[in-house]
Amino acid sequence: MHYAAIRQPTDPEAFITDLKRRMTDALDRLSGALTDGSAGGVKVTTRHGEPWIKVPRLEKLDEPTVLQALKDEVVRRWGVLDLLDVLKNADFLTGFTDEFASVAAYERID
């Protein structure tokens, strides 16, 4: 593994110490934001007696003006693309689906 390339220490103790510090800092910031109301509407409540994080729905944004130009260029170059074909070809080139794990106890393929 090229730890320098991903800017991570090779010492596991240093890695864990830094990770704990960053997670604690982030939780402290979240706690402060929830307390002072600056969390963007995010609230911690309960649902069915269990803790629940409630996140408000975001308003729909206007479509960026360059997006239509990008769509037009894709259609001009390649025609209409089927998303499944794009994913299949991307997987063929990269093998990204090898990183997926099944949540089932076993897999059955007939």
Q: Where along the chain do its domains lie?
A: 12-99
How high is the pLDDT of residue 110? 66
Q: Is the pLDDT of residue 86 over 80?
A: yes
Q: Is the pLDDT of residue 38 over 80?
A: yes
**Interval 81-94 mean pLDDT:** 92
**Interval 61-75 mean pLDDT:** 92
Most confident range, picked from 1-10, 16-25, 37-46, 92-101:
16-25
How high is the pLDDT of residue 90? 94
How high is the pLDDT of residue 78? 87
How high is the pLDDT of residue 7? 86
DSSP label of 48: T
pLDDT top residue among 47 and 109: 47
Answer whether 0.75 is exceeded by the pTM.
no
Handedness of CA 23, 26, 32, 33 (dihedral sign): negative
Beta bridge partners of 51: 46
Give every CB contact of residue 74 below 8 A, 6+ residues apart in sequence.
81
